[in-house]
Amino acid sequence: MSSILRLLTSRWGPIITGVVIGILAPVLVRLGNPGNMGVCMACFTRDIAGALGLHNTSVVQYIRPEIIGGLLGAFTAALLFREFKPRTGSAPLVRFLLGMFAMFGALVFLGCPWRAYLRLAGGDWNAILGICGLVVGIGLGIVFLRMGFSLGRNRPAPKTLGWIMPAFMILLLVLLLVEPQFGRDASGNPTGPIFLSESGPGAMYAPIAVALVVGLAVGFLAQRSRFCTIGAIRDMILLRDNHLLNGILALIATAFITNLILGQFNSGFEGQPVAHTDGLWNFGGMVLAGLAFTLAGGCPGRQLFLAGEGDGDAAMFFAGMLVAGGFAHTFSIASSPSGVVAFGPAAVIVGLVICIIIGLTMREAKT
Amino acid sequence: MGELDIIDARGLSCPQPAMLARQALQKLTEGSLELIVDNSTARENVSRIAKNLGWEISVDERSEDDVHLLIRK
């Protein structure tokens, strides 16, 4: 057992994590999750935002156990391996904004980087332009890093800070299981504060226990192996280091094979599940997401797992994603399967301008 | 090379510790560099980058939050 655990911090760690995700994500689709959405940090966080009433798009409201499990799995690993280190103070407000814009970009594309790779492995060729956009966004972020961009240093914080996100995840799990309905609508029917979809992608989910266990396993593995879908490309370009990229390649290859075995591989552009064919904004949305994730130091999964380790700044990034999951629908930013909507492109352009300003101006403050 | 170069990378987000190490090592053909980190991820990343560039690493772990990586060639 200990040799397997040691393997996770070796060059095999990201590969093992990628293989496990590549198998389990398509299995979750088989067990009920929406197509090519075994795991999607953006879509799932948006669903949680909806379930909490932060938006009222009734087809995308569900408390996704994969997110809860992901954070708690990383939390468990961090506790076991003495890596639970509460810390904060590295520009939390900027990280909140970056989380928001990463979320807007991802929801214009309809997926975070994890889902972009899973969509590719399911034969959704619209993902190709999304991934191209992601690479461009990461490249832009690297330009800023080379120019001296930094969100500054974090500082150790009291243990209490690190326990807030695990406690919030436990609360979400309780809300999912209890599904309290103590509000009343105009006709007097029970409603809220938790809203769960009765149709659409939000009503498509694997059994709670399975999704939770998969989340726990992925969170545990990813915490140990530092798996990151943004770092994979960033480190290859910036550091000529393929350590994390191997994990992504393993994920795509394994998910492709698993999809073939399960009869879920369906290649083409049209009619793909929870996807649209507007290439320009598939690309543009992911340029924004790639830039925002790079400036924040990692993909949404990595931010979630860092939050599990006690990183209060990563938790602020997640909070930004959660709030933006609400705004993306109330402000008509998130795309629908029929294409981009009213303010999607505008949000991407505004987001790019703001992220570029952040990239050009944020430097470590000299004390 | 005169005084030992010391880079304090504590508290910095990915990829800054590894990037600072790489930038510093690329300016040197030989000698030594000390880099201070405060978490396992930065320690692993910096060690891997330095090894990839052909440098040797020794670790002086003074506490969990004060790990000195001595990089030599």
| pLDDT tens-place string over residues A187-207 | 988 888 999 999 999 999 999
CA atoms within 13 A on the CB side of A98: 32
The set of residues, in sequence order, having a beta carbon less than 8 Å from that of A86 and lying 6+ positions away, is A156, A157, A158, A159, A160, A161, A162, A163, A310, A311, A312
Can you list the positions of beta strands (E) in chain A?
87-88, 155-156, 181-184, 190-193
pLDDT band at A114 (very low <50, low <70, confident <90, very high): very high
Whether A226 sits inside 8 A of B41 (CB atoms) is: yes
- To the nearest whole Å, the CA of A255 is away from the closest chain B CA by 27
Kindly report, residue by residue over A278-324, the tens digit of the pLDDT.
999 999 999 999 999 999 999 999 999 999 999 999 999 999 999 99
To which residue do tokens 């726990």 refer?
A: A216
Q: Does B71 touch chain A (CB under 8 A)?
A: no
Q: Which among B11, B14, B45 has CB closest to A155? A: B11
Q: Report the sign of the C-alpha dihedral through residues B33, B34, B39, B43, in that order.
A: positive
Examine the pLDDT at A76 and tell me if it is beyond 60. Answer: yes
pLDDT band at B3 (very low <50, low <70, confident <90, very high): low
CA-nearest of A291, A245, A329 to A11 is A245
Whether B19 sits inside 8 A of A150 (CB atoms) is: no
Q: Which among B11, B49, B52 has CB closest to A154? A: B11
Count up the domains in chain B and report the number.
Answer: 1
Examine the pLDDT at B1 and tell me if it is beyond 60. Answer: no
Q: Which among A145, A152, A298 has CB closest to B19? A: A145
Kindly report, residue by residue over B5-64, the tens digit of the pLDDT.
899 999 999 999 999 999 999 999 889 999 999 999 999 999 999 999 999 999 999 998
Q: Mutation test of the interface with chain A: which of B7, B13, B43, B51, choosing the one with the most A Cβ atoms within 10 A?
A: B13
CA A92 to chain CA centroid, Å, is 18
- To the nearest whole Å, the CA of A361 is away from the closest chain B CA by 17
Cα separation of A193 and A288, whole Å?
A: 32
CB-CB contact of B42 with B2 (8 Å): no
B32-37/B66-72 β-pairing: antiparallel
Cα separation of B17 and B8, whole Å?
A: 9
Examine the pLDDT at A246 and tell me if it is beyond 80. Answer: yes
Q: Does B18 touch chain A (CB under 8 A)?
A: yes
pLDDT band at A359 (very low <50, low <70, confident <90, very high): very high
Q: Which among A153, A239, A296 has CB closest to B19? A: A239
pLDDT band at A15 (very low <50, low <70, confident <90, very high): very high
What is the three-class DSSP state of A148?
A: coil
Containing structural domain, residue B35: 5-72
CATH of the domain at B65: 3.30.110.40
Whether A226 sits inside 8 A of B52 (CB atoms) is: no
Write down the pLDDT at residue A13.
97
